[in-house]
Amino acid sequence: DTAVSQTPKYLVTQMGNDKSIKCEQNLGHDTMYWYKQDSKKFLKIMFSYNNKELIINETVPNRFSPKSPDKAHLNLHINSLELGDSAVYFCASSQFGSRPGVNYGYTFGSGTRLTVV
């Protein structure tokens, strides 16, 4: 029973196309995130939603638009894809407002490997 699941796992598409990645978590967490991992394995946050409300929006081109229909789902839509968007995109979830000392770790999905050609 997968805790954080992303679809699709692989996505190969042409420059200029629009694509979406979906994420669902069944952990009962109230906060979800999108991270981008580049070719050098560096993980950088893009967005965070808490109970469907956007709380973190890093400097990301506005071609990227997240949507959270409910606290268990977070999708990422990308318009006008560019070569530089090729990366692995990870969804993660955690419980906001955990008390200090309580495990505050993210649970990550297995990633969506996006290749723009």
Partner 1 sequence: QKEVEQDPGPLSVPEGAIVSLNCTYSNSAFQYFMWYRQYSRKGPELLMYTYSSGNKEDGRFTAQVDKSSKYISLFIRDSQPSDSATYLCAMSLGYGNKLVFGAGTILRVKS
Residue 12 has what DSSP assignment?
E
Residue 61 has a CB neighbour count (10 Å cut-off) of: 11
Q: Say whether residue 115 binds partner 1 (CB under 8 A).
A: no
The only residue of 25, 29, 50, 71 in contact with partner 1, by rule CB under 8 A: 50
Residue 28 DSSP label: -
Terminal Cα-to-Cα distance of the chain (whole angstroms):
34
Does residue number 45 form part of the binding site for partner 1 (CB under 8 A)? yes
Q: Of 10 and 61, which CB lies nearer to partner 1 in the complex structure?
A: 10
Stretch of 19-27, 45-53, 62-70, 71-79 lying at the interface with partner 1 (CB under 8 A): 45-53
Residue with smaller CB distance to partner 1, 75 or 112: 112
Q: What is the CB-side half-sphere exposure of residue 78 using CA atoms within 13 A? A: 26
Q: Specify the amino acid at residue 30.
A: D
Q: Which residues bind partner 1 (CB under 8 A)?
A: 4, 31, 33, 40-45, 48, 50, 55-56, 58, 90, 92, 94-101, 103-111, 113
